Chains A and B, each alone.
Chain A
Amino acid sequence: MDVGVLALQGDVSEHRAILSSLGATVVELRSARDVARVDALVLPGGESTAMSVLLRASDLVDPLRERIAAGVPTLGTCAGMILLAEEVLDGRPDQVRLAAVDITVRRNAFGRQVNSFEADLDATALGADGLDTAPIHAVFIRAPGVVRVGPSVEVLATLAPRPGVTAPEPVLLRQGSVVVAAFHPELVGERRVHQLVLGALRQAASA
């Protein structure tokens, strides 16, 4: 299993460590040639504006869009979620939208760097994929918030209501073979989010 981690900017090495521990071969993606040869894609956390500039400069937007549309299992965390969203609020008008998941996200919805926080998420929904359902310890750093979820999108985990917010907020979602997380599973060694994507890959291989 060759899993490509977009390596334009951001926390590439943590994703590499988790994927390697799950038995995947990691390819750092910096060119269209590399995008063409991997079996799954990971878009890491970082700055979505900087990644947008670099995606265009490296001619990666169309190759990524085509592979994702062709059903290649894909994970996006934090900035990666923003890149994969259908619609982005509080972003820059020129930022890249791969539009692979029918959600609307708001950039920096939880505030600035000093408002970063950690929370435990109920992971009952992961049981359906044969994964452990112990709570997910989630780290949110200048995280995007999901403000709209399309009908074909599955919510796998939510953030419990907090002061000023009455409804649970979706933070781990899936549409088809694309999984997006507002938090950083890679920073705390949480492997189940990556397993969701590798599971989709195995299913595709056995089908």
Chain B
Amino acid sequence: MLGKTAGGLYWMFRYLERAENAARLVEAGFRIALTRSNDAEAEWKSVIVTTASQIGYDTLHDGYDSSRVVDYLLRAPENPSSVLSVIKAARDNARLTRTALTTEVWYAVNDTWMLLTDLLKDPIPETELPGVLATIRQQSGLVRGALYGTMLRNDIYDFCRLGSAIERMDNTARIIDVKYYSLLPSPSFIGSRMDNVQWETILRSVSAHRSFRWAVEGDFTAPAIADFLILDRRMPRSLSFSAGQIVEHLNMLGAEYETRMPSHDMADALQTQLKGRDINSIFEQGLHEFISGVITDTAQLAQQIAEDYRFTG
């Protein structure tokens, strides 16, 4: 396979994952804005920070109100990570790698691009927002389903899945990092309203507010939530799960190409940080430091994968 094709597949799925995550963050933010308007501005700001778009946003706007933040995250052409921008980028990558995709995957991506380009043509009124966000997530699921259901399990599939897993790892880590203070087990805050709001938003940002209740017996406590998001291998957006996916698909590539690359060691090291860990030991190490480390390691790993498999010349 061409290195460029591998890179195109990888980025296509990073972008699709990014679109889905943006929709989820907007949904969580919107809920806060509706139910606790006093917290809305701070919440929107943290969403902007989470998506690493504060500098870009601040050059266009001052103040963080629903309509401008939502527009920036969903539609703004100036924002390279807006849903509209990344869906276009995903579709461009799909065109680039078209010979590697099944017709079903191509249709799913191309349909998504056509549908969302039309849906996001004009600013989204509040009344339409829930429907639009649902559509973005639904379309993302459609592409994923086409990938699972129709693609050969070969290197093509591995590069697609690596893109999703790296992006998800980065995204969950950022969500935790921005809100890390509310996840610290500080006794003076426990049970306060502030924490309940923050915890609920964090869980909603990764679509886990229901699964947490089912999976974790016991109370909503900061350590339990942190444990769930970082270490729980059952939770498909946890760091541990994502690291497992990265290692799994790199190993499959290693087997298919019969060569172990430097990125394999880096991925193993990343996974070791999470495997068999106890959440208390992470708190002792310092949650913020730990998460910052994960974000940096993930970025370096991504760079190494691109180098090992010759994404660019």
A binds B: no
Chain A residues with a Cβ under 8 A of chain B:
none
Chain B residues with a Cβ under 8 A of chain A:
none
